[in-house]
Structures are given as C-alpha cells and as structure tokens.
Amino acid sequence: MEIVQVLRTLGDKSRLRIVNILREGHLSVGEIEHILELTQSNVSKHLSKLKAAGIINQERRAQWIYYGLNNAIMDKYPLLRELLEKELDKIETCRQDLKKLREYRQRRKLSLET
C-alpha cells in the first residue's frame, strides 16, 4: 500500500521540513543541510526514506545530485499535494525555512551577478 508508506514517511518533522522546501524546486544535500541547519548524515538519512517512499526523486547535474518532489506521486494523490500546500504554510518552522531558502537563493543570485 503505497499511500500508507507515503503518509508514514511524512510523519517525521524533519522530513516534512525537507518536503516543504523542495516545493520551491530542486536542492542539493548541502543546500538542504544549510537551510534546515541539519547535519549532512541526518539529511541524507531523511532523503533516503523520502526517496524509498517515492515522495522525492533525484537528478544528477555534473558531480552534484539534486533532489525534488516527485510530481508523479503528487499527481497520483492530489489530496496529498493539497494537504502539503495548505498545511505546511501554517507551521511557523516551515514558513521560516521557506524564508531562509528564499534569502539564500537571493544571496546566491547576487553573488553570481558580481
């Protein structure tokens, strides 16, 4: 039962925080680690569980691997996408994570322009 595994996997605060920031696009382990202030091993462990449940996928770009939401599972379970989009924005930690991600991306963009 795929949906049971998906819901069980999302029952962890750190994994929800990762899914939350991945709603904004693909990120590397290092970026996730920086934004959420988690250790690399902790992030990797959570990414493995999210990937095993089919919630995220990965994409290799040169030597880096980027993780993003698996749109196929979100399309398969539209209620899941709606739940994540509506409920994660109500959690203060998730709002702060998104703010930190946007600030990080803005700083990175500015540093690339100079």
Which residue range is the domain that position 85 belongs to? 2-113
DSSP class of 88? G
- The string of DSSP letters for 18-72 reads HHHHHTT--EEHHHHHHHHT--HHHHHHHHHHHHHTTSEEEEEETTEEEEEE-HH
Tens digits of per-residue pLDDT, 57-102? 999 998 999 999 999 999 999 999 998 989 999 999 999 999 999 9
Query: What does the pLDDT average to over 9-36?
Result: 96
Domains of the chain: total: 1
pTM over 0.85: yes
Question: Residue 107 is part of a domain; what is its CATH number?
Answer: 1.10.10.10
Asked if residue 53 has pLDDT above 90, the reply is: yes
Task: Name the residue among 16, 49, 11, 18 with its Cα closest to residue 32.
Answer: 18
